[in-house]
């Protein structure tokens, strides 16, 4: 007699088929659970809270010649050195983000900004990002939404004083060019108005007006008899 825990040679092929069928059925059930639903259990939400949004607008005005990206993971603009375990560092840092990243037109990030949540930013996270980004030549600061620094001071930190001077110079040149074009447009309008007024004045005069003086001067008084 075979014990219940053992299969007879006749039963073994059937049990193997049952086990294979059960394995396929389990895969099908698990695949069904992962299928894309017709109705997603999600809804839209804002990308930033009110304080982050206020700082974002301030950042856009401060770096109007750059792109201010929102909540980018550091793995998007850093990479391991050659011959390093890239997968390990990627898995370690893939959830490390900065609130804002200032990106130049060539695609390089020049500086990152964090806006702490209501519960603050841990010293560990702050030191990690500060050291990591500094070694990559990227500036890092933490901003308090209620005490934002001078705009030029932050630009100097991220871009250097020379870039700030060039920015002011370009703004002055742009303002002078705008004023020159505005003056040119105003003078052209005034010239056009004067031309139209002269044309209206000329067209409103009677055609025989100048001849009337000649007619009067050639008229002789009647002879007295």
pLDDT tens digits, residue range 176-214? 677 778 878 888 888 888 887 777 777 666 655 555 555
Whether residue 205 is contained in a domain is answered as no
> What range defines the domain where residue 70 resides?
50-159
The tally of CA atoms less than 13 A away on the side-chain side of residue 98 is 31
- Do residues 153 and 174 share a domain? no
Q: Does one domain contain both 134 and 195?
A: no
Count how many Cα atoms sit within 13 Å of the Cα of residue 151 in the half-sphere of its side chain.
Answer: 14
Identify whether residues 148 and 176 lie together within a single domain. no
pTM metric for this prediction = 0.60
Give yes or no: residues 134 and 93 share one domain: yes
Taking residue 117's Cβ as centre, other Cβ atoms within 10 Å add up to: 11
What confidence category does residue 1 fall into, taking pLDDT thresholds of 50, 70 and 90? very low
Q: Is 115 a member of any domain?
A: yes
Q: Coil, strand, or helix at residue 97? A: strand
Apex CA 69: angle with CA 64 and CA 70, to 5°?
130
79 and 128 inside one domain:
yes
Same domain, 62 and 150: yes
Does some domain include residue 83?
yes
What is the per-residue pLDDT across 73-119, written as a single tens digit (0 to 9) for each?
Answer: 999 999 888 777 888 888 889 899 999 999 999 999 999 999 998 88
* 3-state class (DSSP) for residue 102: strand
Does residue 215 sit within a domain? no
CATH code, domain with 63: 3.40.1350
CA distance 29 to 23: 10
Residue 89 belongs to a domain = yes
Residue 223 lies in a domain: no
Per-residue pLDDT of 6-46, as tens digits, reads 555 555 556 666 777 777 777 766 765 667 778 888 999 99
Q: How many domains does the chain have?
A: 2
Over 50: is that where the pLDDT of 2 sits? Answer: no
Show the tokens assigned to 196. 């139209």
Residues 168 and 155 in one domain: no
Q: Per the domain annotation, does 185 fall within a domain?
A: yes
User: Rounded to an integer, what distance in angstroms lies between the CA atom of residue 115 and that of residue 120?
Assistant: 9
> Does a structural domain hold residue 182?
yes
């Amino acid at each position: 007699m075979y014990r219940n825990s053992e299969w007879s040679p006749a039963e073994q092929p059937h049990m193997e088929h049952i086990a294979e069928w059960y394995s396929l059925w389990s895969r099908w059930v698990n695949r069904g659970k992962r299928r894309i639903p017709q109705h997603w259990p999600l809804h839209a939400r804002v990308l930033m809270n009110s304080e982050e949004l206020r700082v974002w607008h301030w950042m856009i005005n401060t770096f109007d010649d750059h792109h201010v990206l929102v909540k980018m993971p550091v793995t998007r603009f850093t990479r391991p050195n050659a011959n390093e375990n890239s997968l390990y560092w990627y898995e370690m840092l893939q959830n490390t983000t900065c609130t804002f990243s200032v990106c130049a037109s060539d695609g390089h990030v020049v500086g990152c900004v964090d806006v702490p949540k209501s519960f603050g930013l841990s010293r560990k996270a702050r030191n990690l990002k500060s050291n990591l980004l500094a070694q990559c030549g990227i500036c890092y600061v933490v901003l308090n939404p209620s005490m934002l620094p001078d705009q030029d001071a932050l630009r100097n930190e991220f871009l250097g004083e020379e870039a700030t001077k060039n920015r002011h110079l370009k703004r002055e040149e742009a303002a002078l060019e705008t004023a020159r074009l505005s003056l040119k447009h105003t003078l052209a309008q005034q010239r056009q108005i004067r031309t139209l007024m002269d044309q209206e004045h000329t067209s409103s005069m009677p055609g025989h007006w100048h001849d009337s003086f000649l007619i009067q001067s050639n008229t002789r008084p009647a002879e007295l008899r």
